[in-house]
């Protein structure tokens, strides 16, 4: 006999911890297990250990809406986020539900029993559990390998090559020349952090520019409202952050030239003399066609002005013994090369789903409210926004699951499924031009051309559609 739990959560990162807390509060009678592949909780915030690791969304929306982020730090450091998550897990006694070194490898649904049988690799041993609701909170990327393109001549390089996902604890870069390849959130975090921690010089080598926007490290409104009780100040600061994020995103979509111009002006002001904003900080795409990079108090620009960091926009021709030769012919000397080249996307924690004996092929499914898959019963997944804090969406998914379970209790329902509607047009899941998304688009589910099949990158619309609309909306079917 396999052990049975009412709800099985895959992953003990931010989403899994949040999910379990909400079930503890709103469905305390249900048995819940959180299966975590690693030996520790916290997911992303435990895995990544590179210098300066921090959030690039404000903590008032990255924190859970039901558990205020303490203080007025807007962009927080990784260890503080990890501490927050583990504290929350302890407070809600969710840490007791987590089973470490349990990697979920597959799950098969049986309509005869309305149950999932979940296959787990527990330290090399196979175990199975059954559950009524499977909730995938496994994040969106492969934990075992970051994206590392093979550069010609890599084996010739005599220095150290590091990927930010696998940062060596003992890496000594004091006084050394560092080249960081990349221009995303990780690169713009690493460059000032390494420069300020004593690297000789740090060069950010990018193929093409990214929008880099400076934000105050401390939120001025949060600072001003510090004297108020948190239960009063947190919702105010949180809603300010939400509305500002929605408004700037909408403005960028409708008036991209205006937003482009404003960012260019702000950036130009912060650059040291002689650095051409149009060469290094003017992307070919519109703002929010890829995620913007936020830097606290302009730390990247400060490091550049201090002469500790610089940006080069060029292509790698090959690695040499002493650094990198660029296509332009220029050579960058390096003792350490950091390949901040991104993540390898992995959907649903790599769990293979089978429904009544038939393997679920992700590209053949369509997302329902971006939290369930068509024709896959009693299965929910948490994936955050690409244009706002992940947690905003994760909280909404948790709201939905709690409401769904209440509905199922009240109506004596054991199965909830969103059957595929052939009249709904198919679109690619994410309209984002970032490399890691484009590389994986073919393996992801599709979205529909209308609600509730459409992925909304808009919290305000999702609040209505996910949190307020009826559970029995005429699309979900029940048994
Ligand atoms: C460096 C970095 C910085 C980021 N900064 C931000 C930010 O500022 N703002 C923002 O909104 N987003 C940010 N993100 C995205 C970030 O991943 C999410 O915000 C958030 O941490 C995701 O939480 P999660 O629990 O969904 O996933 P994760 O943090 O990835 O956690 C998933 C957990 O599930 C486990 N797991 C996966 N598959 C299985 C399986 N098959 N079986 C068992 N366990 C499994 C993993 O081991 C992991 O512990 C960042 C991402 C990275 C990589």
Range of the domain at 266: 171-339
Mean pLDDT of all residues in 229-238: 95
- Residue 437 above 90 pLDDT? no
User: What's the CA-to-centroid distance between 100 and ligand 1, angstroms?
Assistant: 16
**Element of type H or E holding 402:** helix 390-411
Which of 314, 339, 364 is the last residue in one of the domains?
A: 339
Please, which residues have CB within 8 angstroms of residue 372's CB and are 6 or more apart in sequence? 379, 380, 381, 418
User: What's the CA-to-centroid distance between 93 and ligand 1, angstroms?
Assistant: 21
pLDDT tens digits along 167-226: 999 999 999 999 999 999 999 999 999 999 999 999 999 999 999 999 999 999 999 999
Instruction: For residue 287, tell me if it sits in a domain.
Output: yes
- Judgement on whether residues 120 and 194 belong to the same structural domain of the protein: no
Instruction: For residue 25, tell me if it sits in a domain.
Output: yes
Residue nearest to atom 16 of ligand 1 (CA): 44
Residue 236: both structure tokens together: 């105010």
User: What's the CA-to-centroid distance between 45 and ligand 1, angstroms?
Assistant: 7
Q: Which atom of ligand 1 is nearest to the CA of 390?
A: 11
- Judgement on whether residues 427 and 470 belong to the same structural domain of the protein: yes
User: What's the CA-to-centroid distance between 42 and ligand 1, angstroms?
Assistant: 8
Mean pLDDT of all residues in 292-314: 97
Which of 44, 350, 387 for a ligand 1 pocket mutation test, highest count of atoms within 8 Å of Cβ? 44
- Judgement on whether residues 175 and 196 belong to the same structural domain of the protein: yes
Least confident of 278-292, 334-348, 403-417, 431-445: 431-445
- Judgement on whether residues 300 and 441 belong to the same structural domain of the protein: no
Burial 336-373 (b: 16+ CB within 10 A, else e): bbbbbbbbbbbbbbbbebbbeeeebebeebbbbbbbbb
Instruction: For residue 364, tell me if it sits in a domain.
Output: yes
Predicted local confidence at residue 439, as pLDDT: 80
- Judgement on whether residues 72 and 100 belong to the same structural domain of the protein: yes
- Judgement on whether residues 209 and 318 belong to the same structural domain of the protein: yes
- Judgement on whether residues 366 and 300 belong to the same structural domain of the protein: no
24, 160, 206 from 154: Cα distances, Å: 50, 10, 17
- Residue 315 above 90 pLDDT? yes
Instruction: For residue 429, tell me if it sits in a domain.
Output: yes
- Residue 303 above 90 pLDDT? yes
Which of 288, 306, 339 is the last residue in one of the domains?
A: 339
Which of 315, 339, 363 is the last residue in one of the domains?
A: 339
pLDDT tens digits along 147-173: 989 999 999 999 999 999 999 999 999
Q: Is the CB of 189 under 6 A from ligand 1?
A: no
Q: What CATH number is associated with residue 289? A: 3.50.50.60
- Judgement on whether residues 111 and 200 belong to the same structural domain of the protein: no
- Judgement on whether residues 323 and 356 belong to the same structural domain of the protein: no
- Judgement on whether residues 314 and 212 belong to the same structural domain of the protein: yes
Q: Which atom of ligand 1 is nearest to the CA of 13?
A: 25
- Residue 432 above 80 pLDDT? no
Instruction: For residue 426, tell me if it sits in a domain.
Output: yes
- Judgement on whether residues 66 and 197 belong to the same structural domain of the protein: no
pLDDT band per the 50, 70, 90 thresholds, residue 440: confident
- Judgement on whether residues 401 and 276 belong to the same structural domain of the protein: no
Instruction: For residue 153, tell me if it sits in a domain.
Output: no
Instruction: For residue 151, tell me if it sits in a domain.
Output: no
Mean pLDDT of all residues in 38-57: 97
Structural domain count, the chain: 2
Instruction: For residue 222, tell me if it sits in a domain.
Output: yes
Question: How far is CA 358 from its chain centroid?
Answer: 30
pLDDT band per the 50, 70, 90 thresholds, residue 103: very high
pLDDT tens digits along 29-47: 999 999 999 999 999 999 9
């Amino acid at each position: 006999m396999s052990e049975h739990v009412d709800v099985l959560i895959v992953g003990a990162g931010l989403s899994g911890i949040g999910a379990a807390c909400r079930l503890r509060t709103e469905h305390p009678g249900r048995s819940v297990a959180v299966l975590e592949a690693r030996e520790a909780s916290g997911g992303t915030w435990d895995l990544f250990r590179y210098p300066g690791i921090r959030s690039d969304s404000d903590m008032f929306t990255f924190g859970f809406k039901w558990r205020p982020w303490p203080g007025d730090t807007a962009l927080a450091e990784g260890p503080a986020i990890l501490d927050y998550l583990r504290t929350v897990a302890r407070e809600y006694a969710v840490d007791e539900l987590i089973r470490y070194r349990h990697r979920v490898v597959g799950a098969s649904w049986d309509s005869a029993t309305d149950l999932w049988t979940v296959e787990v690799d527990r330290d090399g041993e196979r175990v199975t559990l059954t559950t009524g609701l499977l909730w995938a909170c496994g994040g969106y990327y492969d934990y075992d390998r970051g994206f590392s393109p093979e550069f010609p001549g890599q084996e010739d390089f005599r220095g150290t090559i590091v990927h930010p996902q696998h940062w060596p604890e003992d890496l000594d870069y004091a006084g050394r020349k560092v080249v960081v390849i990349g221009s995303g959130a990780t690169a713009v975090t690493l460059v000032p952090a390494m420069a300020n921690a004593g690297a000789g010089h740090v060069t950010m080598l990018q193929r093409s520019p990214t929008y880099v926007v400076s934000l105050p490290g401390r939120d001025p409104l949060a600072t001003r409202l510090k004297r108020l009780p948190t239960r009063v100040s947190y919702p105010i600061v949180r809603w300010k952050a939400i509305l500002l994020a929605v408004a700037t995103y909408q403005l960028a979509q409708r008036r991209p030239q205006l937003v482009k111009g404003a960012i260019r002006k702000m950036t130009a002001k912060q650059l040291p003399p002689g650095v051409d904003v149009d060469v290094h900080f003017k992307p070919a795409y519109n703002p929010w066609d890829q995620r913007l990079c936020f830097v606290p108090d302009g730390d990247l620009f400060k490091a550049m002005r201090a002469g500790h960091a610089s940006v080069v926009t060029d292509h790698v021709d090959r690695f040499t013994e002493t650094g990198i030769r660029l296509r332009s012919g220029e050579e960058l000397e390096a003792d350490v090369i950091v390949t901040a080249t991104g993540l390898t996307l992995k959907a649903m924690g790599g769990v293979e789903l089978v429904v009544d004996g038939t393997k679920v092929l992700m590209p053949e499914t369509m997302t329902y409210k971006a939290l369930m898959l068509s024709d896959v019963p009693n299965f929910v997944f948490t994936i955050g926004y690409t244009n706002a804090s992940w947690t905003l969406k994760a909280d909404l998914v948790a709201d939905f699951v709690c409401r769904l379970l209440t509905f199922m209790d009240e109506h004596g329902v054991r199965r909830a499924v969103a059957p595929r509607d052939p009249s709904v047009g198919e679109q690619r899941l994410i309209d984002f031009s970032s490399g890691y998304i484009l590389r994986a688009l073919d393996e992801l589910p599709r979205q529909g051309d209308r609600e509730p099949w459409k992925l909304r990158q808009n919290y305000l619309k999702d609040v209505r559609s996910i949190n307020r609309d009826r559970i029995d909306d005429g699309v979900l079917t029940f048994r």
